[in-house]
């Protein structure tokens, strides 16, 4: 009877050790999954298009010359 109890206790210890190892592996997998789901940084905003037009009335200087 004592031998059976010792065997059962040993098996329980082995099972507990395996469960602890499985739990550690699951925690590591969860950390990797969490790291993989972090979104990448947002891209920099696009620069405004370059323009060589002046802001104003829309009338060119040569057109103003004809009014004089």
So what's the pLDDT on residue 36?
Answer: 85
pLDDT tens figures, 5-50? 999 999 999 999 999 999 999 999 999 998 888 777 888 877 776 6
Nearest C-alpha neighbor of 68 from the set 54, 59, 12, 48: 59
Number of domains in the chain: 1
So what's the pLDDT on residue 44?
Answer: 80
Residue 20 belongs to some domain of the structure: yes
Residue 1 belongs to some domain of the structure: yes
Residue 28 belongs to some domain of the structure: yes
Query: Cα dist. 10→1, 5, 21, 40, 54 in Å?
Result: 14, 9, 17, 49, 87
Residue 58 belongs to some domain of the structure: no
Q: Is the pLDDT of residue 53 over 80?
A: no
Residue 64 belongs to some domain of the structure: no
pTM > 0.75: no
Give me the domain span that covers residue 23.
1-37
So what's the pLDDT on residue 59?
Answer: 60
């Amino acid at each position: 009877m004592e031998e059976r109890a010792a065997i059962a206790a040993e098996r329980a210890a082995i099972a507990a050790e395996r469960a602890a190892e499985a739990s550690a592996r699951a925690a590591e997998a969860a950390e990797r999954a969490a790291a993989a789901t972090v979104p990448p940084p947002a891209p920099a905003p696009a620069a405004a298009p370059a323009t060589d037009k002046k802001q104003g009335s829309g009338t060119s200087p040569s057109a103003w010359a004809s009014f004089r």
